[in-house]
Structure 1
Amino acid sequence: MRVLTVVLSVFALVFGASTVASATQVRPLPQAHAHNDYEHARPLFDALDHGFTSVEADIYLVDGQLLVGHDPEDLTPDRTLQSLYLDPLARRVKVNHGKVYRGKPAAFQLLIDIKTNGVAAYTALDKVLRQYPSLFTQYVNGFVLRGPVTAVISGDRPRDLMASQRHRLAFYDGRIADPADLGPGSDARLTPLVSDNWTKLFTWTGAGEFPAAERERLTRIVSAAHQAGQRVRFWATPDAPGAARDAIWTELRKAGVDHINTDDLAGLQSFLTRR
C-alpha cells in the first residue's frame, strides 16, 4: 500500500510538471485577445494554451462577491474572479518565476468588464486586487510599476474615482471615439488602452476592398494611440471563420492594432502564427 502511494505521488508530480510545462512553452501572441474568455470550457487556461496575452472577464458585484458571467442568469457562487482568474494567474506566475509565460517577456492583460454598479463594483475589485500586490502592474504617485499582469477596467468604468487614486492596481479602458481618451491629450498612466465598437467607426466588414478613407482612419487611430503610449482594441469585428474575417484580421494586423478580438482561440492562433 505504501509503495502504491509513493508511485501515485511520483506520477502526480510528473504529470503535473508536464502539464505546467506544456502550458508555458506555447508561443505567446502579443495581438491575441480572448473576448468573453469565461465562456470557454476552461476559462483562462484555454486562452493560455493557445498563446493569448489578453483575456476578458465580465463581472457583477453580488452580495460582496465578484462573480463572472455575461448575464445575471449566468452567475453562480463558485465562478468568482478570484477562482477563475486571479488565483490561477498568481500560481502560474509563481511557478514561472514572475512571468505568465515561462522564459518569455510577453506582457499580459486582464481586461475586467464591470457590467453594472461601476463605483461599488470597482471599490470591491480594488480591495481584491490589493490581495495580489506582486501580480499586477501598479500606479503609484505618478509612476507605473510593471507587474506580470496588467488589469484594465472596461464596461461601467468609474473614471473619476480611478483618476483620483494615488495608488491603484488597475487602469482605465478609454473609448476611441472620445477625444479625451485617445492620443497625446490623454494620459497612458490612467488610460493605456483605448477600445471601441468597430461598426460605429467603420462600415467595412471584410467583403470587397477596404475603403481607402476607412483604412486611413484606422491608420490615424493607431498612430494617435501609439504616440501617446496607448494600445488599441476593437470589438464587434466579424468573428465567423471565412474570408471576411481573415480580411479584417489582416488589416488590423497591418495597421498595428494591438489586440485582435475573438472568441475563436484556435482560429486566431493559426492566423497569427502562419503569418
Structure 2
Amino acid sequence: MLAKLSSFGFIPQGRPRIRDRFAPPSYVAYLVFMMLILALVIQYLFALADGHGHGPHGDDEVETGPVNVALVEFTASGHIGKFVQEWPEKTGLSEYPSSFTRGIEPKNIHSHNDYWQKVPFYQGLSVGAVSTEADVWAHDGDLLVGHEKTALDAKRTFRSLYIDPIVDVLEKQNPVTEYVNNTRCGPFDENCFQTLYLWVDLKTGAKETWPLVDAQLAPLRERNWLTRWTGKVIIPGPVTVIGTGSSNWEVLIANKTRPRDYFVDAPLLEIGTKSEQMHTDGKTPLYDSASSPFATSSLITAVGPIKGELSEKQFKKIEGLVKAAKERGILTRFWETPNWPTRRRHNIWRQLLDVPVGLLNVDDLEDAAYGDW
C-alpha cells in the first residue's frame, strides 16, 4: 500500500526533500530568490498593461493614423470609469457646434436684478433661467446698468453685460455649417424654441431712454433674432424684449398695426378693472397679448403683508389676477417676493407655481434651480 501511495508522490522514496537539500539559511535564500522572480514577473505584466497603446519607443512617441484606430486602442484597456473620464480628450468627439449650453434644462425662472449676479446673464443661463433683467440709465448717449446711481460704472453697460453676451451665445447655438444656416434657436441646447425674455427696466425717462435701447438691439435685429409683432401676428424669436419701469408705454404700442420687435410690461393690477388704460377709441384695452407677453405686480402690493405663506384669501387673490391676465393671453410675474426667512421664501415659491404664474421671480438662482424646496 505504501508503495502504491508513493507512486503518486505522497511519500517520495529515494529523493531528498527540499529541506534536506538545503541548510536552513540556504532554504530561506531560495525562497527569497523565488519571491524576487515572481515580483519581477508581476511588475513586467503591469508594465505591459500600463504601456498598452504606446509606441515601442515609450511615451514620447506620438501615434499617428486614423481616429478610429486610436479609439480602438483606447477602448481596449482600462476601467469604464477611466474610459468615460478620458474619452473627451482622447477622441476629441465630445463637443459639437451647439453644445455650449448642453445639459441645461430651461426653467421658468426670472433672474431678478440679474446685474447683481457675479456673472450677469451667463450665471442665470447656466442654471436654466429663461428670463433676465437689466436696469438701464441713459447717460451721455449710452446705457449704464445698475440698481442705483451709486452702482453705475462706465464699463458696465447694456451692451457689454447683455447684448454682446447674448449675441455670443446665440452665435454658438446657431452655427453656420454645411448642414444648417440661418437657424433661429434660442440659447438653450435642450430646447431650441425656448425664447430668452430680456426685460429692460428704464431708470430714466422713456422718451430719452427707449431710443437708446432700440438702437442697441440692432445686433439682434440684424440677425433676425428678436420676437416681433408684424401688425397682425407674433413671430417668435430667440430673444423677446420687454420694456418695464415706465408708465408711458402707450406711445410705443398705441398703433396696433405698426410692426415692432419689442413688447411692454402690462400693469397686472389694472387688467379687467375700471382703471385700465384704453386705446384712443375708449373701448379697446391698451394691453393684450400683442403688446405684452407678461403682466407684473409687486406681490406685497397685490395681497398685503405675508406671514409664513400666502393665506387662503391671498392665494385666491393671486388666482384671480392670473386668471384675468390669462384671458387676455398674458402670463404673469410677481416681484417683491420675500427672500427671508428661507422657509417662507420656499413656501411662497411653491404656492406661486401652484397657481401657476408664468415666471418665478428669483434672486437666489442656485436655490431656485437646485434647492430642496
Under a length normalisation based on structure 1, what TM-score does the superposition of the two structures give?
A: 0.85
Cα 1:102/1:172, change in 2 over 3 Å = same
**Aligned equivalents of 1:61 and 1:233: distance in 2?**
26
Q: Across the two proteins, how many residue pairs are aligned to each other?
A: 256
Structure 1 residue 66 displacement after superposition:
1.0
Structure 1 residue 234 displacement after superposition:
0.6
User: Are 2:100 and 2:173, in contact at CA under 8 Å, matched by a contact in 1?
Assistant: no
1:143 aligns with 2:143: no
1:9-24 to 2 correspondences below 5 Å: 21=99, 23-24=101-102
1:198 aligns with 2:306: no
Question: RMSD between aligned alpha carbons?
Answer: 2.4
**Aligned equivalents of 2:347 and 2:307: distance in 1?**
5
Structure 1 residue 157 displacement after superposition:
4.8
Cα 1:22/1:91, change in 2 over 3 Å = closer
**Aligned equivalents of 1:34 and 1:240: distance in 2?**
17
Look up the SS of the partner of 2:265 in the other structure: strand
In structure 1, which of residues 223, 230, 234 is the aligned counterpart of residue 334 of structure 2? 234
Task: Could you list the structure 1 runs, at least 4 aligned residues long, displaced by more than 3 angstroms after superposition.
Answer: 20-24
1:268 aligns with 2:368: yes
**Aligned equivalents of 1:41 and 1:269: distance in 2?**
17
**Aligned equivalents of 1:178 and 1:243: distance in 2?**
31
**Aligned equivalents of 1:130 and 1:197: distance in 2?**
32
Opposite residue 230 of structure 1, the aligned amino acid is I
Match of 1:7 in 2: none
In structure 1, which of residues 189, 197, 200 is the aligned counterpart of residue 290 of structure 2? 189
**Aligned equivalents of 2:341 and 2:237: distance in 1?**
35
**Aligned equivalents of 1:236 and 1:95: distance in 2?**
34
1:225 aligns with 2:303: no
1:73 aligns with 2:138: no
User: Are 1:181 and 1:194, in contact at CA under 8 Å, matched by a contact in 2?
Assistant: no
Opposite residue 360 of structure 2, the aligned amino acid is I
**Aligned equivalents of 1:144 and 1:82: distance in 2?**
26
User: Are 2:244 and 2:265, in contact at CA under 8 Å, matched by a contact in 1?
Assistant: yes
Opposite residue 209 of structure 2, the aligned amino acid is A
| Larger relative contact order, structure 1 or 2 (CA cutoff 8 Å, min sep 6) | 1
Match of 1:128 in 2: 216
- Percent identity (aligned): 25
Match of 1:3 in 2: none
Match of 1:154 in 2: 244
User: Are 1:206 and 1:247, in contact at CA under 8 Å, matched by a contact in 2?
Assistant: no
The C-alpha deviation readout for 1:235-273, integer Å capped at 9, x for no partner, is 1111135211111001100001011111100010024xx
Structure 1 residue 204 displacement after superposition:
5.0
The C-alpha deviation readout for 1:134-162, integer Å capped at 9, x for no partner, is 22111222322111010101112531221
User: Are 2:135 and 2:145, in contact at CA under 8 Å, matched by a contact in 1?
Assistant: yes
Opposite residue 21 of structure 1, the aligned amino acid is S
1:173 aligns with 2:265: yes
Match of 1:4 in 2: none
Which is further off, 79-88 or 198-207?
Answer: 198-207
In structure 2, which of residues 149, 154, 165 is the aligned counterpart of residue 88 of structure 1? 165
Match of 1:58 in 2: 135
**Aligned equivalents of 2:155 and 2:323: distance in 1?**
42
Gapped runs of 5+ residues in structure 1? 1-10
**Aligned equivalents of 2:198 and 2:333: distance in 1?**
13
**Aligned equivalents of 2:150 and 2:315: distance in 1?**
40
**Aligned equivalents of 1:102 and 1:39: distance in 2?**
25
Opposite residue 71 of structure 1, the aligned amino acid is E
1:46 aligns with 2:134: no
Cα 1:93/1:181, change in 2 over 3 Å = farther
Question: Max radius of gyration: which structure?
Answer: 2
**Aligned equivalents of 2:160 and 2:204: distance in 1?**
21
Opposite residue 102 of structure 1, the aligned amino acid is D
User: Are 2:144 and 2:158, in contact at CA under 8 Å, matched by a contact in 1?
Assistant: yes
Look up the SS of the partner of 1:251 in the other structure: helix
